[in-house]
Structure 1
Amino acid sequence: MSTTLVAFFSPTGTTARAALALADTLGADTFEIKPQQPYTAADLDWRDEASRTSVEKRDETARPTIVGTMTHMDRYDTVFVGFPIWWYVEPRIIDTFLETYNFTGKTVIPFATSGGSGLGQAPARMRSIIPGARVLPGKMLNGAFDADSLRAWADDLGCCGSAE
């Protein structure tokens, strides 16, 4: 049993590819953060001020419902949390995930995918939501990534054991 979890939200599959590669490299367990109401292409249109993601972004209290639960969260010391960056922050469904579980004493490492932006304010926002956790700066996992680079990143963090 791993003490590392890779939890991820991936409405288009891009973040899922990065998350599964990371989990495979680390020998980590995975949990997909799935919205009760899946996001459509129209929902994801960031250029449309009336799109679901635009509306959620403007509402600090928005907390989309997640389908399913992560059992035995207490088993994990390290939790990588992956998501697409939306307007330089994590999607509100990530806030739902963070508020659902007790992260006190855990190391949380954000990682994200994006067509052109960095992590922005996501790590700081995540720290404010789970103040009892140690939230590291995180990393963008765009484009091609290989097991060696993912392992080197985890080794640099000093948070995860070697994959078995």
Structure 2
Amino acid sequence: MSKILIVYYSLFQNTKNFALEIARQTGGDIRELISEKNYSFNYNTAAKEVRSEIARGFCPKLLSGNEPIDNYDTIFIGTPNWFKTMAPPVRSFIRNHNFEGKTIIPFSTSGGGGLGEIQDDIAKECLKAKILPGIDVSGQVVREDIEKWLKRILNE
């Protein structure tokens, strides 16, 4: 099996829990993206900040998680679904790396919005990568659901 990296950004720990489960099941290395700028823990305030950043295509500076990816063949990229797309720190990570020849697998957490446009947006940024079908978890991470998804996509 190829060397696996699980990269994620998580504001409220939902995406972190999902990433930890993927790492547990794949044996992959895990990397949290930490942005220089913290978002408000007040939902309405954070929503305004994020909507503005997404509209501008803003990419915040990353304090952690932006290390080289050269040694990895398969990279899971995790993000909360924010207004149908990825969180700005995830966009920063993607724009700072070359994914040519790599396999990318998106995953997201949401309040019911699914993957939204996350998979398509990642594919647009990573034109020379192979993108495998992503998955979204709304609510609690269920180990069995993640296991079925991983078996399906990694055995294609």
**Is TM > 0.5 for Structure 1 vs Structure 2?**
yes
Distance in 2 of aligned mates of 1:130 and 1:94 = 13
Distance in 2 of aligned mates of 1:47 and 1:30 = 26
Which of 45, 55, 60 is the matching residue for 1:58?
Answer: 55
Q: CA deviation at 1:159?
A: 5.9
Which of 119, 123, 145 is the matching residue for 1:123?
Answer: 119
Which of 132, 138, 141 is the matching residue for 1:145?
Answer: 141
Question: Paired residue for 2:87?
Answer: 91
Distance in 2 of aligned mates of 1:159 and 1:100 = 29
Question: Paired residue for 2:21?
Answer: 21
Which amino acid is 1:80 matched to? F
Pairs aligned (count): 156
Q: CA deviation at 1:36?
A: 0.7
Question: Paired residue for 1:68?
Answer: 64
**Gap runs ≥5 in structure 2:** none
Which of 57, 69, 77 is the matching residue for 2:73?
Answer: 77
Contact 1:78 1:159 in 2 (8 A): no
Which amino acid is 1:19 matched to? A
Deviations 1:104-156 (A, max 9, x none): 11111110001110111111111111111112230012333344432221111
Between Structure 1 and Structure 2, the one with more helix by share is 2
Q: Is 1:154 aligned to residue 150 of structure 2?
A: yes
Distance in 1 of aligned mates of 2:153 and 2:94 = 21
Q: CA deviation at 1:87?
A: 0.9
Distance in 2 of aligned mates of 1:94 and 1:67 = 12
Relative distance call for 1:25 and 1:40 in structure 2 (3 A) is same
1:97-112 matched pairs, under 5 angstroms: 97-112=93-108
Q: CA deviation at 1:21?
A: 1.2
Contact 1:73 1:101 in 2 (8 A): yes
Distance in 1 of aligned mates of 2:151 and 2:39 = 35
Question: Paired residue for 1:45?
Answer: 44
Which amino acid is 1:21 matched to? E
Q: Percent identity?
A: 28
Relative distance call for 1:77 and 1:8 in structure 2 (3 A) is same
Secondary structure of residue in 1 paired with 2:85: coil
Contact 2:110 2:138 in 1 (8 A): yes
Which amino acid is 2:100 matched to? T
Q: Is 1:136 aligned to residue 132 of structure 2?
A: yes
